[in-house]
Structure 1
Amino acid sequence: QRGKGLGAGHRGGAAGGGAAIAAYCAVFGLFSADPGWRILFALGGLPAVPVLLALRGLPGPVRRSAAPRPVRYRAALLGIFGPSTRRATLVGGLLGLGAHGGYYGLFTWLPTFLVSERRLSVAETGLSLAVVVAAFGTGCLVAGGLLDRIGRRRTVILFATTCAILAVCYPMVRLAEPGLTILGGVLGFAAAGIPASMGALFNELYPAGLRGSGVGFCYNAGRLVAAGLPVLVGHLAEVMPLGTAIGAVSGLAYALVVLAVLLLPETKGIELDGVPGATGPLPAAFPATAAGPIRSGDPS
C-alpha cells in the first residue's frame, strides 16, 4: 500500500493550493497587480511558522536494533553516484526536472493566462483554479491506487503522456465557459499523477543508507533547474502568444518525464528493508552492493 499511502499524503498539497487561491481572490480583489503580487508573495511564507513548530515535536523514525553504525554523511552523499546507483541518480534527476518543469511552466503562468488571454475576471479565475486544485487532490488518490495496481512506471507514463497532450491543447483550444473550467479540471487531475508517484518511485531506487541522499537529489536537483522554466516561458511570450509558450515548455518537460521513466526499472513490490548492510536483489537495472540493497517481496 506504499503508493496509495504516499499518494494520499501528497493530497495535502491540494489543501494548500485551495488556501492560496482564496488568498489570491482576496488580495487581487482589493489591490491592483502591483502591490497585489507582493502581498501574496509575503503571505506565502506564513505557513512556514506552524510547520516549523510542528516539526519540533515530531518524532524521528525508529531505527532497528539490528542496524549497524549509520553511513557517514560524505559516503551517503557521494554514494548515490556510485556504480550501482549512478544511473538511478542521473535519470531520476531528469525525471524530477521534467516533472517540476512541466508543473511550474504550466501552473505559474495559468492565472496570468486566464486573465490576459481568456479575459476571465478575478472571481472567474479563482473558480477555475479551484476546480484545478480540487481535481489535483482527486488525482493524487487515483494515482496512489494505480501505483500499487499497475506499477510505478506505467502510472507515471500514463499521467505524463496525458499532461504532455493537455499542456499543449489547453492553452490553445478556445473554449467558452464552462468548457474551459472543465478542461482545466482534467488538466489538474492529470498533473497530480506525477508528483504523487515520485515519492514511492524515488525511495525504491536506493538502498538504506543512500535513500535520503538519493531521493533528495532526484527531487531537488531537478527542481532547482526547473525553477528557470517559468522564466523561459516569460521570455518566449515576448515573441509568441503566452499560451503557445506555456504549451511548448510544459509539453517538452512532460515528454522528458516519459523518456526518463522508461530508463528506470519497475520497482513495484520492492521491500524497503531499512537496515544498512542487508542482502538481497536490487531492481533489475542495478547490481547489489554492500551499501544495503533493497529486498523484494513487499506486496505493495
Structure 2
Amino acid sequence: MSTTQAQPRQDELPGSGGPFGWLRDLGPRGRRAFGGAFGGYALDSYDYFTLPLSMVAIGAYFGLDHGQTALLTTVTLVVSAVGGALAGILADRIGRVKALMITVITYAVFTVACGFAPTYETLMVCRALQGFGFGGEWAVGAILVAEYASAKERGRTLGAVQSAWAAGWALAVLVYTLVFHYVDQDTAWRVMFWTGALPALLVIYIRRHVSDAPEAAERRASGAGRGSFTAIFKKDLLRATFFATLLSTGVQGGYYTLATWVPTYLKTERGLTVVGTGGYLTFLISGAFLGYLTGGVLSDRLGRKRNIQLFAVLSALCILVYTHIPSGANTLLLVLGFPLGFCMSAIFSGFGSFLSELYPTAVRGTGQGFTYNSGRAVGAFLPTFVGYLSDSWGVGGALALGAVGYALAVVALFGLPETRGQELT
C-alpha cells in the first residue's frame, strides 16, 4: 500500500499549533470543504430527528403501537444502507462534491414529502426514500474532508465534522419545542417535516465554493478511481470490509436505539411535557457535542481502536444506569443525560478517519459507504426489537438492550488493524 498524499499549494501551507491548528492546516479549499460537510451532516441530523421527536404524535395520529412507529426508523436506516453504498460508488466515480450535493437534495426532498403523507404506509415509503440521501451524506462528506486533512490530525478533524450531528440534533429539538408548543399536535408533526427543506440552501453553497481534494480528483480523472462493490470484497480488503461492517452494526445499533426511543421514554414513562423533554434532551445533546470533539482528539492520541473500545464500554454502562434510575428521580436523569450523550457520541469521532484509512482512494467511497451504512441497516433492527419488547418490558427496560450493540463493537475491533497516523493512499 503506497503512502502518497497531496501536497498543499503555497497559499495553503499548514498553520501551526493551537486548538484550531487542524482547521488552519486544511487550507482555504479544505476549510470550505469542511464547511460543506459540516453543514450537510448537521442538516442530515436535523432531518433524521424530525421523526423520533414526532413519533408520539405520529403514533397517535395514525393509531400505531410502538413496534409500528419504530418500523419507520428501521425502514429509514435499512434503505440508508443502499443509499450509502450507492453514494460511495458515486463519490469514487463522479467526485465527492457532486455526490454530496445529490445526497443532500435527496434527503431534503423526501423529508418534506413526509409532511404531506395521508397514510402510515405513504409515510413509510417517503421515509424510506429519505433514507437514500440520509445514508450517503456522512460517508461522502467525511471522505471529502479526510482527503484534505493531515494524517497527524485527521482524527480531530473528522471528529469536528461528526459534531455537526449534535448541532443538527439541537436545532431539531429547538424547532420541535417551538412547533409543538404553538401548533396542534395533529399538524405539528407535519410542520416538523416541512422544515426539512432547509438543506436546499446548503446545496447552493456547496456548488459555488466546495471542490474535491486535488489528488483525489486527479486519480479519478486518470481512471484510477472507479469504485465497485466487488473491489471491497477481494482478498486484500475482505477482512477489513467484514469487521468494519460488524463494528458499524454494533455501534449504530446501540446509538439508534437511544436516539429513537429516549424522547418517547421521557414523555411516556417519565411523564415530561414537550418543554420538559426538550430541556432534558439539551443536556444529552450538550454532552454529545463535547463528546464528538473530545473523541476526535483522543482518536489521534490513543489510536482509533482504543478510543472506540473505551467509549463502547462507557456507553454500555451509561445505558444501564440511565434506564434504571428510580421513578421520581428526574433530576438525576437530567444530570446523567450529559455523560450518556458524551460517551455514545465520542465513540463515533474516530469512524470517519478509521474507515477512510482502511481503504485506498480508488474505493474509499465505496468501502466507507458500504461498511458504515450496512452496519447501520443491520443495527437498525435493534430499535424495532426494542419497540416490540417495550409493550411488555416498558420502554426503559427494553432500552437497556442497546448495551448489546456496544459489546458487539468491542468484539469486531479484534479483527481490524490500528491506522492512526497512516497517510491516505
Shorter-chain TM-score range: 0.7 to 0.9
Deviations 1:217-249 (A, max 9, x none): 11111122233332222111122111111111x
Match of 2:130 in 1: none
* Match status 1:237 vs 2:237: no
Say yes or no: does 1:119 pair with 2:271. yes
Query: Of the candidates 401, 408, 414, which is equivalent to residue 262 of structure 1?
Result: 414
Q: 1:165 to 1:53 in 2, by over 3 A?
A: same
Any idea what the Cα deviations from partners look like across 1:162-184, whole Å, max 9, x if unmatched?
A: 11111222112226242211101
Counterpart CA distance in 2 for 1:266 and 1:40 is 42
Picking from 354, 378, 382, the partner of 1:225 is 378
1:55 match? 206
From 250, 255, 258, the equivalent of 1:103 is 255
**1:99 to partner: Cα distance:** 1.8
Tell me the amino acid that sits aligned with residue 207 of structure 1. P
Q: CA deviation at 1:9?
A: 1.8
Counterpart AA for 2:200 = V
Do 1:168 and 1:244's aligned partners in 2 also have CA atoms closer than 8 Å? no
Measured after TM superposition, the shift of residue 97 of structure 1 is 1.5
Q: Deviations over 1:158-214 (max 9, x none)?
A: 011111111222112226242211101110000111221110110111122121111
Which stretch shifts more, 146-155 or 205-214?
Answer: 205-214
Q: What's the TM-score, normalizing by structure 2?
A: 0.60
Q: Does structure 1 residue 183 correspond to structure 2 residue 336? A: yes
- Does the CA contact (< 8 Å) of 1:151 and 1:268 recur in 2? yes
CA RMSD of aligned residues (A): 2.0
Count of matched residue positions in the alignment of Structure 1 and Structure 2:
270
What letter matches 1:233 in structure 2?
Answer: V
Of 301, 304, 318, which residue of structure 2 is paired with 1:152? 304
Name 2:403's counterpart in structure 1: 251
Identical positions, percent: 37
Preserved CA contact (<8 Å) 1:138 1:189? yes
Segments of structure 1 that go 5 or more residues without pairing to the other structure are: 274-300
For the Cα contact (< 8 Å) 1:106–1:247, is it kept in 2?
A: no
Q: Normalising to structure 1: TM-score of the pair?
A: 0.84
Question: Deviations for 1:121-174, whole angstroms, at most 9, x for unmatched residues?
Answer: 221211110111111110111111111111111000001111111122211222
For 1:238, what is the secondary structure of its paired residue?
A: helix
Distance in 2, Cα, partners of 1:55 & 1:228: 34
1:48 aligned partner, one-letter code? P
Alignment partners' CA distance in 1, 2:184 and 2:319: 29
1:283 aligns to what? none
2:367 to 199, 214, 230: 214
Deviations 1:22-74 (CA, angstroms, capped at 9, x unpaired): 0111122234543433332333x22321232222222122127985833363x
Residues 35, 261 of structure 1: alpha-carbon distance in 2 compared, 3 angstrom cutoff: farther
Regions of 4+ moved over 6 Å: none
User: Contact 2:323 / 2:400 at 8 angstroms: preserved in 1?
Assistant: yes
Q: Is the 8 A contact 2:216 2:361 kept in 1?
A: no
Match of 1:239, SS state, is helix
| Structure 2 CA distance for partners of 1:177 and 1:242, relative to 1, 3 Å | closer
Give 5+ residue unaligned stretches, structure 2.
1-152
Q: 1:65 to 1:189 in 2, by over 3 A?
A: closer
1:262, distance to aligned residue in structure 2 (A): 2.3
